[in-house]
Homo-oligomer: A and B are copies of this chain.
């Protein structure tokens, strides 16, 4: 049952007076539960509990953390149909998507469980003593990764499962040994509370300390701001808009003790289409690209907002085909009236720029909260001169930039801000003629894709989800895949430390059998 209260550690609490409800965009009605925004007192209590929990949780073994994570996954699945229905009622997304995203969330939790059970992720490094070294003896030094402390995770509007309460940030932080305080996204607080109940149940079942997890509601920005300012909080994970992420980054940077914020923010995910591919396969790419632009009503962080090509009859033909393909697709419901409102506003801003031509739009009336897809086109020169055109329009909107030549195409890419992804659509033979284009693209993005579309972020170790600012606030980390654990840990060295007091990972006999670097050489499992 959803109570509308906050989880302060294992306890449900709701002393506040500010309340709000979630909204069903499909039925265009508010949902019933009244959610109570966390008070300053409750926020402080959650952080204090997390600090206490950290003392114990930071020392919990990998096997125990794995049991905790696996049990979270089990308890989420145990929530069954209620969870799926709540998700759908708070997002407007279909059951198929709900099931798929739940699978991804559960899969992420299990992959982090596997990672910490195996144990090599701590990057254990040992340099043994050389007492007889001249002119000075060498000490024994042993290093491994340890958790930072309490982490605040902000739920994302567009992924109520995979990037929210028990999503990638939370799974990675709990795996690292950090207690987590979630600032639940106000658009899906019911989903958040249910998932939180599963986490709390798992924490109790596996004997984790009270405070290892808290879930706070809030529809105003106060809750998040107070959390990020709290001296007990040691890192922040965020997925959302550039404005939101940057505001948190600024608050965190201006603290007396600055803390790292990993914010995964906006991206227009440029797709470059080269001449031979246009000629030989234009119809296929028009259809595929139309699907990518409208997938999930264009509400993916990897949605392609920009297609870059060089002027030719083939490009004109492609634009025509793309425009025809995209209007064949039924508009779909967006997550929330606020998201639709922002989409309409940003679309209007873009469409009001001079030189932008609309080549496809939906003329018919649609149901409330449905997002109408749009394809636009603009000259390379116009795009270069007007940076407003570079900004993301979150939703099913895409712009085709028609460049004069390779040089202008390169300049367009160089003028872009940092991106999550960059795609090249090309016949393999022509590729070698465009190395300047590929070089320029690589320098602006976190991931390059060949002959595909950027939507669809595989969860695997080789995935990089992040990129130069503003794709993320620190391009040196990923938000997806097990390596995302590195955001929440720091290296720690023991010098001449007694064997019996060393953590298992660093003892001479390698009791966990993990990969270690010993005196400069990698040693695989015994």
B497 in contact with A460 (CB, 8 Å)? no
Chain A residues 478 to 520 lying within 8 A of chain B, measured CB to CB, are 478, 483, 486-487, 489-498, 501, 515, 517, 520
Interchain CB contact under 8 A, A125 and B461: yes
How many angstroms between the C-alpha atoms of A452 and B136 in the bound complex? Answer: 13
Q: Which range contains the number of A residues in contact with the other chain?
A: 35 or more
Q: What string of 1s and 0s marks CB contacts (under 8 Å) between A466-487 and chain B?
A: 1011100111111000010011
Give chain B nearest CB distance to A269 CB in angstroms: 12
| Given A431-B501, A447-B493, A501-B431: A463 touches B143 (CB 8 Å cut-off) | yes
Contact assessment for B524 and A490 in the assembled complex, using a CB-CB cutoff below 8 Å: no
Tell me, yes or no, whether A127 is within 8 Å of chain B by CB: yes
Which among B55, B495, B498 is the interface contact of A428 at CB below 8 angstroms?
A: B498
Please determine whether A522 and B517 come into contact, CB atoms closer than 8 angstroms: no
- CB-based contact B501/A489 at 8 Å: no
Chain copies in complex? 2
Residues from chain B with a CB closer than 8 A to the CB of A452 are 139, 495-496
Cα separation A446 to B145 with both chains bound (whole Å): 11
User: Is B460 within 8 A of A141, CB to CB?
Assistant: yes
Enumerate chain B residues within 8 angstroms of A260, measured Cβ to Cβ: 474, 476
Residue-wise interface mask of A (444-459) relative to B, using a CB-CB cutoff of 8 A (1 in contact, 0 not): 0011111110001010
A interface residue numbers (CB < 8 A to B): 55, 120, 125-127, 136, 138-139, 141-143, 146, 148-149, 249-250, 253-254, 257-258, 260, 417-418, 428, 431, 438-439, 442-443, 446-452, 456, 458, 460-464, 466, 468-470, 473-478, 483, 486-487, 489-498, 501, 515, 517, 520, 522, 524
Beyond the given pairs A257-B418, A447-B494, A450-B497, 20 more chain A to chain B contacts, judged by CB atoms under 8 angstroms and listed by A's residue number, are: A127-B460, A136-B456, A143-B464, A250-B254, A257-B469, A257-B470, A446-B491, A446-B492, A448-B493, A450-B495, A450-B496, A450-B498, A452-B496, A461-B517, A461-B520, A466-B490, A476-B491, A477-B491, A483-B491, A522-B524
Show 16 residue pairs from A and B whose CB-CB distance is below 8 angstroms, ordered by the A residue.
A127-B460, A127-B463, A139-B456, A143-B463, A249-B258, A257-B470, A260-B474, A446-B493, A448-B494, A449-B495, A461-B520, A462-B517, A464-B491, A475-B490, A477-B491, A478-B491
